[in-house]
Amino acid sequence: MNNIYVYDQELSGRRYQKLLEQLETRLTDLGIGGKIYRLGPMTRLEDMAREELARHPKTLVAVGGDILISRLAGLMTGSKIPLGVIPIGKSMVADAFGISLESACRTLAARRIIDLDVGRIDNQQSFVCRAVIEANNPILVLDNDLNVSATGKVIIEVVNVMGDEYGYRGAQPKADDGRLNVYILKTETGLLKRDISQSAFVCRKLLIKSGLTKIEVDGGIPLAGAKEIEVVPKIFSAIVGKDRKF
Amino acid sequence: MFNKNASVGKDGIETVIGPSVKIEGNFVCQGGIVIEGEVKGIIKTAGFLEVGEAASVIADVGAKEAKIGGEVRGNIKIEGYMEVTSSARLFGDIEAAFVSIARGAVVKGKCSILGSETKTSKSNGKQKEEVNQDSHE
């Protein structure tokens, strides 16, 4: 059983070379070194992950940002192999998991593993943290039962887990509660000030009946559209820090 | 929507229905609800309910405690204390253990204030006794 480290394509630049060398030394010192995959323009993450997961590695570690973490998490759903995270740059997922660049190696060595939910869009694209939807006069149905409509241009955030930036009214998102938090945000402009009015719901399934104009997940993966977003409870395992936000 | 292990915010609020939002259907939850928009259907919570001044609720309502400042058309059943502020307009029957109604509030319907007997009658399994009946307009 081996650890697999998947390096984000962006890390191939020279400016990360020293940092990566330091990381590798630290991982070796902790006895958790492993095989390294450097993603390039010609590498398909899906093929690599499928191949490696079939060999049952001890851990698959995403080294990079949220897009890589989210894509790997989506590919690892259903397997019992835990996802590890070494965040390079700002990462919502790592933040929610209580992992910083400084603490990442120690966290990986400690192997605090928990089962987590993911959000899934149209039974295809998964997300760990959130989907952000821009919409105009949207009509939503929550849990097949509750019709929710909003007037005007709004941002809808469908959140599985959130890091430090969580500051909304309503239930706090938890990645292991089998539910998604839905926030509808609207900017109200007055003569002198701008207010953001906010609505908050929790649900297992969200149907977008109309009004969607744009959607992206986990900080940057754009999607062509979305009709149904649902939570898939405790479908993947991850190594989290002791300061996780849920 | 119903979940006993519901996580609620720091102030006990689980659901917020903002001013630009309208909901229709049966809404049941465990945590607190704040309504500032429009609601049609049924609302039930084991927590606190707050209906803001600009809110419009056409629904039967059930909660542990409530503060009502907007318009509610439907029957209201509160286990504990219910505060009706001066901006409230209530059209329907009210049943609560304790009620305070501010001057200026419009209340049209039967008002049953059960006092502490709500809990006693619940624990004894006896039928609730109507202690006070009043109607304000």
CATH label of the domain that carries residue A214 = 2.60.200.40
| pLDDT at residue A72 in the model | 93
Q: Do A105 and A174 fall into the same domain?
A: no
Task: Confirm if A87 and A107 have CB atoms less than 8 A apart.
Answer: no
- CA distances to A30, A63, A81, A141, A150 from A23, in Å: 11, 10, 22, 46, 48
Tell me which of B17, B23, B30, B38 to substitute to probe the interface with A (most A C-beta atoms closer than 10 Å). B23
> How far A246 CA lies from chain B's nearest CA (Å)?
10
Which runs of E-coded beta strand occur in B8-87? 13-17, 21-29, 32-35, 38-45, 48-51, 56-63, 65-68, 71-73, 76-84
| pLDDT at residue A195 in the model | 75
pLDDT band (50, 70, 90) for residue B131: very low
Q: Which of B95, B88, B136 is nearest to B113 (CA)?
A: B95
Positive/negative CA dihedral, B21, B24, B29, B32: positive
| pLDDT at residue B36 in the model | 95
The number of domains in chain A is 2
Asked if the structure places residue A179 within a domain, the reply is yes
User: Looking at residues A69-98, what average pLDDT do you find?
Assistant: 92
- With tokens 């996802």, the residue in question is A83
- Residue A158: half-sphere exposure toward Cβ, Cα within 13 Å: 30
* Residues of chain B neighbouring A186 (CB-CB closer than 8 A): 18, 20
Q: For position A25, which CATH number holds?
A: 3.40.50.10330
Q: Do A19 and A55 fall into the same domain?
A: yes
d(CA A141, CA B28): 15
- Are the Cβ atoms of B34 and A145 closer than 8 angstroms? no
- Are the Cβ atoms of B3 and A184 closer than 8 angstroms? no
| pLDDT at residue A36 in the model | 95
Across-strand partners of A120? A126, A230
Expressed in angstroms, the distance from the first to the final Cα of chain B is 36
Interval B23-62: pLDDT, tens: 999 999 889 999 999 999 999 999 999 999 999 999 999 9
Residue of B nearest to A246 (CA): B7
Asked if the structure places residue A135 within a domain, the reply is yes
- Are the Cβ atoms of B21 and A146 closer than 8 angstroms? no
Greater confidence (A189 vs A26) lies with A26
Q: Do A104 and A132 fall into the same domain?
A: no
- Are the Cβ atoms of B3 and A202 closer than 8 angstroms? yes
Does pTM top 0.80 for this prediction?
Answer: yes
Q: Do A75 and A113 fall into the same domain?
A: yes
pLDDT band (50, 70, 90) for residue A122: very high
Task: Confirm if A216 and A92 have CB atoms less than 8 A apart.
Answer: no
User: Looking at residues A16-41, what average pLDDT do you find?
Assistant: 94
Q: Do A71 and A138 fall into the same domain?
A: no
Asked if residue B132 has pLDDT above 80, the reply is no
pLDDT band (50, 70, 90) for residue B134: very low
Q: Which helix or strand (DSSP H or E) is residue B124 part of?
A: helix B117-124
Q: Do A164 and A104 fall into the same domain?
A: no
Asked if the structure places residue A244 within a domain, the reply is no
Note the helical H segments in chain A. 17-29, 45-54, 66-76, 92-97, 104-110
% of chain B surpassing 70 pLDDT: 77
Q: Do A34 and A113 fall into the same domain?
A: yes
pLDDT band (50, 70, 90) for residue A135: very high
- Report the residue from B8, B11, B16 with minimal CB separation from A199: B16
- Give me the domain span that covers residue A220: 125-233
Structure tokens at A78: 């259903």
User: Looking at residues A153-165, what average pLDDT do you find?
Assistant: 87
Asked if the structure places residue A245 within a domain, the reply is no
**pLDDT mean across residues, chain A:** 91
Asked if residue B108 has pLDDT above 80, the reply is yes
| pLDDT at residue B124 in the model | 54
Note the helical H segments in A88-176. 92-97, 104-110
Range from A100-109, B104-113, B117-126 carrying the lowest mean pLDDT: B117-126
Asked if residue B137 has pLDDT above 60, the reply is no
Q: Do A132 and A206 fall into the same domain?
A: yes
User: A53 in helix, strand or coil?
Assistant: helix
Asked if the structure places residue A133 within a domain, the reply is yes
| pLDDT at residue B121 in the model | 54
Asked if the structure places residue A146 within a domain, the reply is yes
* Residues of chain A neighbouring B21 (CB-CB closer than 8 A): 148-150, 184, 199
Find which of A64-78, A210-224, B62-76 is predicted with most confidence, using mean pLDDT.
Answer: B62-76
Interval A46-66: pLDDT, tens: 999 999 999 999 999 999 999
| pLDDT at residue B46 in the model | 95
